[in-house]
Amino acid sequence: MAKQSHELATTLTASREADPHEAIVDREQKETLQEKIGNLPSLEKEVVLLRLGQGLSYQQIADVMDLSVSHVGVLLHQALGRLRLAMNPSK
Partner 1 sequence: MSSNNNAPINDNNDNPIEGWYLTAYALGELDQESQDKVEAWLAKHPEGLREIEAIRQTASKVQQELAISAQSIQLDPTRTERVRESIAIASQNADARKDLEEIKRSGHKKVRQRRFLMAMTAGLAAGLAGTAFWLSTPNSSEEFSLIQIEPLNARALETTATEWTEENSARAQSGLALTPKSPSSLPEILARDYEESKTLSAGVDDYLVKDSKPQESFGKKADSLQDNVGRLSRSVAAADAAQGLPSFQTPAGPGFGLPGGGGGLGGAMGGRGLGAGGPSQALSGGGSAATVRNEDRFRRETGTDKTELEAGLDLKQDSLGIFPEELKQNVPSLNKSSKANERVSGDRFDSIPETPFVSVHKEPLSTFSIDVDTASYSKLRQYVLENNVVPPPSAIRIEEWLNYFDYQYPGPQGNDPFAAHMKLGDCPWNTKHKIVRVALQAKKVASQDRPKSNLVFLIDVSGSMGDANKLPLIKRTLNVLTAQLREQDKVAIVVYAGASGCVLPSTSGAHKDQILASINELQSGGSTNGGSGIELAYKIAKENFIPGGVNRVLLCTDGDFNVGVTGTDALVSMMQEQAKSNIFLTCLGYGIGNYNDSMMEQISDKGNGTYAMVDSESEARRVMTEQLSGTLMTVAKDVKIQIEFNPAKVHSYRLIGYENRRLAAADFNNDKKDAGEIGAGHRVTALYEVVPVGQADSIPGAIDELRFSQAGKPETKLTEVESASQEWLLLKIRSKQPESSESTKQEFVLGDVASTLDYEGQQSDFDWALSIAEFGLLMRRSELAPSLSWEKMLARAMDSTASDPYRQECITIMQRARSLSGQ
Binding site for partner 1 (CB under 8 A): 1-3, 5-6, 8-10, 12-13, 16, 30, 33-34, 37-38, 42, 45-46, 48-60, 63-66, 70, 73-74, 76-78, 80, 83-84, 87
C-beta of residue 56 within 8 angstroms of C-beta of residue 28:
no
Using the minimum distance from each CB to partner 1, give the nearer residue, 20 or 53: 53
* 61 CB burial (10 A radius; 0-12, 13-18, 19+): buried
Shortest Å distance, C-beta 60 to partner 1: 4
- How many angstroms separate the CA atoms of 31 and 60, rounded? 29
Q: Which residues, in sequence order, are CB contacts of 77 under 8 Å at separation 6+?
A: none
Shortest Å distance, C-beta 20 to partner 1: 18
Shortest Å distance, C-beta 36 to partner 1: 9
* 51 C-beta neighbours (distance < 10 Å), count: 20
Using the minimum distance from each CB to partner 1, give the nearer residue, 42 or 90: 42
